[in-house]
Structure 1
Amino acid sequence: MFEFSGIGGLIILVLDVWALLAIAGSNATMGRKVLWALLVIFAPVLGFIIWFFFGPRAQK
């Protein structure tokens, strides 16, 4: 199993929090927001990468 520690773990945490805030602020339906959030929470690295390319963005 691949583990992140130290600065790498902190970077992943910051990126995941950014993704979760963007998901929460998007215009997606509640169901889609929950599914995206679960993906980012349970698969932090892969979930962030998938969200970055395909996920909903926060409104400006």
Structure 2
Amino acid sequence: MIRSTGQGGCRNRPRLLSLNILIVDLWAITKIFQSHESSIVKILWIVTVALIPLFGFSFWYFMGPRKEQHG
């Protein structure tokens, strides 16, 4: 007999959220490595993203270095 816990697929949600955060953080770290910023700036951003995964990514995304637009 299988008992229902009433949670449905809720048990996998934290895993999926963690996986999504990991993927987004790895993408951010890759973009940081590819940027033309100085090494110290890259290191500071990578440490921020690694130590505070969700908020570090968000902070980098909105406040991080932008490409200069020529035109």
With the length of structure 1 as denominator, give the TM-score of the two structures: 0.84
**RMSD of the alignment, in Å?**
1.7
Instruction: Report the secondary structure of 1:9's partner residue.
Output: helix
1:41·1:47 contact (CA, 8 Å) conserved in 2? yes
Amino acid of the residue matched to residue 38 of structure 1? Answer: V
Gaps of 5+ in 1: none
- In the TM superposition, what is the alpha-carbon distance from 1:54 to its structure 2 partner? 1.2
Q: Is structure 2 residue 68 aligned with structure 1 residue 52?
A: no
Q: Give me the identity figure in percent.
A: 36
Gaps of 5+ in 2: 1-12
- In the TM superposition, what is the alpha-carbon distance from 1:55 to its structure 2 partner? 1.2
With the length of structure 2 as denominator, give the TM-score of the two structures: 0.71
Q: 2:40 aligns with which of 31, 34, 52?
A: 31
Q: Which has the higher contact order (CA 8 A, sep 6+)?
A: 1
Q: Is structure 2 residue 18 aligned with structure 1 residue 9?
A: yes
Amino acid of the residue matched to residue 39 of structure 1? Answer: T
Greater radius of gyration (CA): 2
Report the counterpart of residue 27 of structure 2 in structure 1.
Answer: 18
Q: How many residues align?
A: 55
**Poorly superposed stretches of 4+, deviation over 3 Å:** none
Amino acid of the residue matched to residue 58 of structure 2? Answer: I
